[in-house]
């Protein structure tokens, strides 16, 4: 057993000074007592929260989900755990459908087998059922018409391991796919789309419950043509926000936090394989990519995802919005846990929940990371 003493414990509704007792892989007790014969960790002046959950991440440290190798998923899990992420949803890109199928299979394997670092909760398909006119850094030649048949072909026997699918409701047979995903309990997310406000609202009524990286790869908001962004703000769906201060400005972060309920916001990294690497020139999807000053940019000027780690994104939201600390922590713990349908075991500091725990100081510098009761980082 391990007793973590005198921490400011972050709960969904506030912060209290408590002791947290961990036994094996679970939170055994939240208590005021320190009368236990076990190892102790002093947390005076520090904060304790559930581990972060990243529901949109492509890679890190030179490893990519699209590598189609268990070793890549495992390495990503190790890297991001060091920055406070204790669970994640490996995210595919719009590539050749055979490569996507292989990647999905490997993510399923990693979920079942387990990893050295952060837990794998399932797979996020970002594409290939997207709009070619909102392609971003995806491969325009690999976009597929949205259909239940194409979806089933790509995911093979891994349907139970699909957490979410990003799609453009206005193209192909994606309306039918949205209805199918809703029926199966898979999150249908609007993204990489040119849908009008009316098309987006129709899609929400059909089963869209989430939006992928708000503001990015979608039309800008206009007062006479509010589009997808208007639909997101006008309906009670959840939304991701990439909080790196580059892909989205701090003003944009404040707008989202002012317009959406705290419970409806999920902070993500959308991190690519070159996150946590040195500045320089690399290749992504056979295009030159320049990493410089925390920015990942194609020759065309298109930003190719973020290279910010999740702890920095959390710090950015906390330092640049009016949200309190416990509200910001909800955006990377209980909110994504609900998104992944694991909020009965993860995302909160509660008795009986998985011991996925992080400890950090007042500047949000990560000190300790515990995954499934196992100390991953100790500083």
Cβ–Cβ < 8 Å for 177, 153: no
Contact residues for 123 (Cβ-Cβ < 8 A; gap 6+): 89, 90, 91, 92, 103, 104, 107, 108, 158, 161, 162, 163
For 256-272, what is the HEC assignment?
A: HHHHCCHHHEEEECCEC
CA distance 74 to 115: 5
Q: Look up 343 and say whether it is catalytic.
A: no
Taking alpha carbons only, the member of 68, 71, 128 closest to residue 104 is: 68
CA distance 29 to 276: 35
Q: How wide is the angle at C-alpha 265 spanned by C-alphas 264 and 267, nearest 5°? A: 155
β-pair partners for 333: none
Taking alpha carbons only, the member of 353, 307, 306 closest to residue 333 is: 353
CA distance 358 to 354: 12
Q: Which listed residue (54, 64, 161, 270) is catalytic?
A: 270
Is the preceding omega at residue 128 within 30 degrees of 0, hence cis? yes
CA distance 270 to 242: 7
Here the tokens at position 123 are 């797979």
Here the tokens at position 206 are 């059909």
- Gyration radius from the chain CA atoms: 20
Q: How many CA atoms lie within 13 A of 264 on its CB side?
A: 18
Here the tokens at position 194 are 């040119």
Here the tokens at position 57 are 């991440």
Residue at token pair 């009524």: 205
Catalogue the active-site residues. Answer: 270
């Amino acid at each position: 057993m391990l007793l973590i003493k005198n921490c400011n414990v972050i709960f969904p509704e506030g912060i209290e000074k408590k002791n947290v007792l961990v036994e094996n892989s679970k939170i055994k007790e939240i208590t005021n007592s320190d009368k236990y014969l076990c190892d102790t960790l002093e947390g005076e002046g520090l904060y304790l929260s559930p581990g972060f959950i990243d529901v949109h991440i492509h890679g890190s440290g030179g490893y990519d989900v699209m590598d189609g190798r268990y070793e890549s998923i495992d390495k990503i899990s190790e890297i991001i755990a060091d920055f406070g992420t204790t669970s994640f949803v490996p995210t595919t890109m719009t590539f050749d459908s055979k490569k996507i199928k292989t990647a999905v299979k490997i993510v399923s394997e990693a979920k079942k087998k387990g990893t050295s670092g952060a837990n794998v909760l399932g797979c996020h398909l970002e594409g290939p059922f997207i709009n070619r006119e909102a392609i971003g850094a995806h491969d325009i030649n690999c976009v597929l018409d949205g259909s239940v048949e194409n979806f089933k072909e790509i995911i093979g026997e891994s349907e139970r391991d699909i957490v979410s699918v990003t799609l453009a409701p206005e193209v192909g047979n994606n309306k039918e796919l949205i209805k199918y995903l809703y029926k199966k309990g898979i999150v249908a997310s609007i993204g990489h789309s040119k849908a009008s406000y009316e098309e987006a609202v129709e899609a929400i009524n059909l089963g869209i419950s989430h939006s992928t990286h708000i503001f990015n790869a979608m039309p800008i908001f206009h007062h006479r043509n509010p589009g997808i962004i208007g639909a997101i703000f006008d309906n009670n769906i959840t939304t991701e926000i990439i909080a790196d201060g580059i892909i989205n400005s701090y003003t944009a972060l404040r707008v989202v936090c002012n317009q959406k309920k705290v419970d409806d916001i999920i902070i993500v990294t959308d991190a690519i394989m070159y996150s946590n690497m040195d500045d320089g020139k690399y290749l992504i999807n056979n295009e030159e990519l320049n990493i410089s000053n925390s920015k990942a940019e194609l020759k065309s000027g298109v930003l190719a995802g973020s290279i910010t780690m999740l702890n920095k994104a959390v710090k950015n939201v906390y330092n640049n919005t009016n949200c309190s600390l416990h509200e910001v922590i909800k955006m990377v713990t209980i909110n994504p846990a609900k998104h992944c349908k694991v909020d009965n075991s993860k995302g909160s500091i509660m008795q009986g929940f998985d011991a996925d725990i992080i400890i950090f100081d007042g500047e949000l510098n990560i000190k300790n990371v515990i995954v499934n009761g196992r100390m991953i980082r100790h500083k």
